[in-house]
Amino acid sequence: MSTPGPARAAAVRAPSPERTPWRLGRRTRKAVLAIHLVASGTWIGIDVVMAVAVFTALLSDDTPTKALSFQALDLFVVWPLFVTGLVCLASGITLGIGTKYGLFRYWWVATKLVLNIMLASLVLIALRPGVSETAERARQAMAGEAVSLEVGDLLFPPIVSPLALLIAVLLAVYKPWGRIRRRTR
Ligand code: HEM
């Protein structure tokens, strides 16, 4: 015996348990969003302090001031930035997977994912060697050796990173560009 028309239509529309996407509950979603916001704010804050140290070293003519700025960078920049970047990434991925936004469903989420991975990787690949090297030169300068205390390539991270994070915040708030691909029915 065949299923009557309306009953068959209802059976087709009803979501099967296997196909219902996993979603964060309301309270968990808020908690993860709070972690995400605190991580992204902390990340931007560390970038601002990094900019203060780098520009102090760039603009000062005083060797101890330059050396102190480089040593301060060595203390607080690399690992706090990297860990904050990872927390932001993990909470962002959880929010993506656990909400209607997905990870590769909307351009704004996918772009943030790429930005986050690039920025966190650059901390270890590009920033870490530069910071260690300038801190070493700072130690030598403080020991009375004649070494250059030029800022060099360290000028770029405090400009590039906050700009990229500002773009990520704007993407999160305005959610532009729509879906990556329309779902086929
Ligand atoms: C690059 C660093 C990032 C920054 C600065 C950032 C910033 C933000 C901000 C400020 C919000 C709150 C927007 C609002 O509620 O109006 C947000 C929400 C969100 N972020 Fe990020 N984010 C970053 C990385 C990521 C990553 C890597 C992902 C996932 C791949 C992600 C996924 C999301 C999602 C899905 C929301 C919406 C959550 C909701 O409304 O429930 N974010 N992000």
Q: Kindly report, residue by residue over 37-61, the tens digit of the pLDDT.
A: 999 999 999 999 999 999 999 999 9
**What pLDDT shows up at residue 22?**
87
**What pLDDT shows up at residue 183?**
55
Q: How many angstroms separate the Cα of 175 from the Cα of each of 33, 51, 68, 109, 172?
A: 16, 28, 41, 8, 5
Q: How far is the CA of 36 from the centre of ligand 1 (A)?
A: 7
Block means of pLDDT (10 residues each) for the chain, length 185 residues? 46 53 93 98 97 97 95 93 98 97 97 98 95 95 92 95 98 96 61
State CA 3 to chain mean position distance.
53
Give the contacts of 155 (CB within 8 A, at least 6 positions apart).
Answer: 54, 58
Our mutation pick for probing the ligand 1 site, out of 116, 121, 163, 167, counting the most ligand atoms within 8 A of Cβ, is: 116
Please list every protein residue whose CB sits less than 6 Å from any atom of ligand 1.
29, 33, 36-37, 40, 88-89, 92-93, 95-96, 99, 101, 103, 109, 112-113, 115-116, 165, 168-169, 172-173
